[in-house]
């Protein structure tokens, strides 16, 4: 009985490792970048920068989105595959 359970657990290890492969993380980061950029409403000439956190949290991906002087946070739901963008942060120099 114990050997059967051990065999099942050992067989599952490659699946777990594959889910955390560098290719999977690259795909995750590309999806966060693409989803966050799709939310940005700016002229085509605007400079848009999306800095994706490499791994996010257990449930969410995150990215810092900069459009000109405006900075926002993009939050990506890993389970749903959807993203939301916050309002721009107030300019720290204006305080």
pLDDT in tens, 33-65: 999 999 999 998 999 999 999 999 999 999 999
d(CA 56, CA 74): 11
Full-model pTM: 0.74
Higher pLDDT, 92 or 28: 28
**Closest by CA position to 83, among listed 34, 44, 47:** 34
């Amino acid at each position: 009985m114990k050997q059967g359970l051990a065999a099942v657990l050992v067989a599952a290890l490659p699946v777990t490792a594959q889910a955390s492969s560098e290719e999977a993380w690259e795909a995750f980061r590309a999806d966060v970048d693409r989803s966050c950029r799709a939310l940005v409403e700016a002229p085509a000439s605007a400079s848009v920068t999306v800095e994706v956190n490499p791994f996010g949290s257990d449930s969410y991906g995150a990215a810092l989105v900069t459009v000109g002087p405006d900075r926002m946070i993009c939050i990506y739901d890993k389970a749903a595959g959807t993203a939301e963008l916050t309002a721009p942060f107030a300019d720290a120099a204006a305080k």
